[in-house]
A and B are shown apart, each in its own frame.
Chain A
C-alpha cells in the first residue's frame, strides 16, 4: 500500500469515527445533508482522492477508493454514498477528458477547491434508463444551453458542481449522449420533489429541474456510451457495493458485541445466537471477497493494456452487474441476521445495538438501479455469452 493510500484510509477511519458516525443518527432522523462529515472530507482534501498526483490529487486506485467508502459506510451510509458518488463522477472526467485543457484544469480545481460534484443522470419519462436522455445540448456559437427534468439528484442542493447526461444535440438519438460539467454559477435548480425516504435519508436526493447555460468546452467530447461501460458503471457498482459492505460490517459488529456480552455473562455455555452469528460471518466473508475480487479485476483492467476493450465487453459487464445484485442482496440478509441476533436490543432505536438505520439504508441497495432491470440486462447478455 502506497503512503498516499494509507493516508487516505487513515483519514477515512478518523472522519468515520469522529464525525460521520457521531452525526449519523441526527442526519437520519432529520433527513438532512451530513454537512459535518462532508466538511471534514473537504478539510482533509479527500475529494481529490481519485485525481492523479500530476494534478495534485492522491492518485488513489479504485481499490483504495473502495476501501475508503467501505470505511465511511461503517459509520454513516449516507456520507459514504455521497463520497462514492462524487468519486464516480470525478473518475468519469479523469479517465475520459481526452486532450481537453478545460478538464485538466478542472482536476486541479477539484483538488485545490475541494468542490463536491453531483450526478444528474435520471430524467423524467426515461424510466431510470441510464443510457437514454430526453434533454439535448443546444449549441449557440461557443455557448451551450440545457434544460433537464431530473427525477432525482443526490445532494443536488449541496453540490458545488454537476455532471449531467444529455443528448449530444437536441436531434440526436436518445442514446447518443454526452456528459456536461456545470459549476454552480452555470445552473439554477428548481426543486420538483421531496426526499422523505425509508433510508439513505442524508443523501437528500429529490427531483430538480436544471436550467443551465455554460461554455461549450464544458462538454466532454467522449461518447457517454464508452464512459458508462468503462468507468461509470464499474465505478458505481464497486463503490456502491463497498458502501453496502460497510453497512453490513457495522451491523455485524454490533451483533458480535451483543453475543460476546451474552457469553461473558455465562461463561461455559455458547449462547444459542452465536450459531446465527457464525452463519452471518460466513455471509459477510462471501460479500467481502466478492467485492474485493471484482475490484481487483477491474483495477487490473483499468491499468492494463487491453483495458478499454475488456471493460466494454459483455463478460465484464455481466460480472459487474452480478456484483451489484449480490452485494445489494447480501447486505440486507446480513443486517437482518444481525437483527435476529440482537433481538429487541437491535430493534430499539435508542439502544447501542440499534440496527434500524442499517436495515433501512441497506434496503435502498436493491433499488439503486433496480435489480430487476439489471437481471433483465444479464438475461439478454446470457443469450450470446458462451463462457468459453
Chain B
C-alpha cells in the first residue's frame, strides 16, 4: 500500500524530492506539499482505494506522512469489509 501512496504522491503531491525516496514518517508538509496538493492526493487515494475519508480524518496530521495515510486507509478498508 505504501508504494501505491508513494506513486500517488509522485503524481499529485508536488513534493520537492522524489516520493519514492521518502521515509515512511517523513513530514510531507516540510518537503513542499501544500493544502491544495493534499486535496488532490486525498481525491486520488479515495479513487484508488475506493474509500471516502470521513470529515474527522480531514486534518493535517492524517495526511502529513506516508505512514499516517497508510494507517488511515487501512482503518477505512477494514471498516468496509
> Is the Cβ of B61 less than 8 Å from the Cβ of A315?
no
| Neighbour of A386 across the interface among B29, B36, B55, CB < 8 A | B55
A174 within 8 Å of B by Cβ? yes
Query: Residues of B within 8 Å of A, CB-based: how many?
Result: 21
A381 to chain B, nearest CB (A): 6
Q: Which of B32-59 touch A at CB < 8 Å?
A: 32-36, 39, 42-43, 46, 52-55, 58-59
- A388-B59 contact, Cβ under 8 Å, with A173-B32, A383-B39: no
A40 within 8 Å of B by Cβ? no
> Is the Cβ of A384 less than 8 Å from the Cβ of B58?
yes
> Is the Cβ of A173 less than 8 Å from the Cβ of B43?
no
B66 to chain A, nearest CB (A): 17
Q: Which of A353-388 touch B at CB < 8 Å?
A: 377, 380-381, 383-388
> Is the Cβ of B58 less than 8 Å from the Cβ of A309?
no
> Is the Cβ of A313 less than 8 Å from the Cβ of B34?
no
A144 within 8 Å of B by Cβ? no
A32 within 8 Å of B by Cβ? no
> Is the Cβ of A174 less than 8 Å from the Cβ of B60?
no
> Is the Cβ of B61 less than 8 Å from the Cβ of A384?
no
Q: In the assembled complex, which residues on chain B have CB atoms less than 8 Å from the CB atom of A314?
A: 55, 58-59
> Is the Cβ of A312 less than 8 Å from the Cβ of B59?
yes
- The CA-CA distance from A174 to B29 in the complex, in Å, is 11
Q: In the assembled complex, which residues on chain B have CB atoms less than 8 Å from the CB atom of A313?
A: 55, 58-60
> Is the Cβ of A312 less than 8 Å from the Cβ of B60?
yes
Q: In the assembled complex, which residues on chain A have CB atoms less than 8 Å from the CB atom of B54?
A: 386, 388
> Is the Cβ of A312 less than 8 Å from the Cβ of B61?
yes
- In this complex, the member of A173, A174, A383, A384 whose beta carbon has the largest number of chain B beta carbons within 10 angstroms is A384
B35 to chain A, nearest CB (A): 7
B54 to chain A, nearest CB (A): 6
B4 within 8 Å of A by Cβ? no
> Is the Cβ of A385 less than 8 Å from the Cβ of B55?
yes
> Is the Cβ of A385 less than 8 Å from the Cβ of B32?
no
- A384-B35 contact, Cβ under 8 Å, with A223-B30, A314-B59, A315-B58: no
> Is the Cβ of A223 less than 8 Å from the Cβ of B32?
no
The 8 A-B residue pairs whose C-beta atoms are closest, nearest first, are A173-B32, A314-B58, A313-B59, A312-B60, A173-B16, A384-B42, A380-B39, A225-B29
Name B residues whose Cβ lies closer than 8 Å to a Cβ of A.
16, 29-36, 39, 42-43, 46, 52-55, 58-61
Task: Other than A225-B60, A313-B60, A388-B54, give 11 A-B pairs with Cβ distance below 8 A.
Answer: A173-B32, A175-B33, A176-B32, A226-B60, A309-B61, A312-B60, A312-B61, A380-B39, A381-B58, A383-B39, A384-B53
- 17 A-B contact pairs sorted by A residue (CB < 8 Å): A173-B16, A173-B31, A175-B29, A175-B32, A223-B29, A229-B60, A309-B59, A312-B61, A317-B35, A377-B36, A381-B35, A383-B39, A384-B42, A385-B55, A386-B54, A386-B55, A387-B55
Name A residues whose Cβ lies closer than 8 Å to a Cβ of B.
131, 173-176, 223, 225-226, 229, 309-310, 312-315, 317, 377, 380-381, 383-388
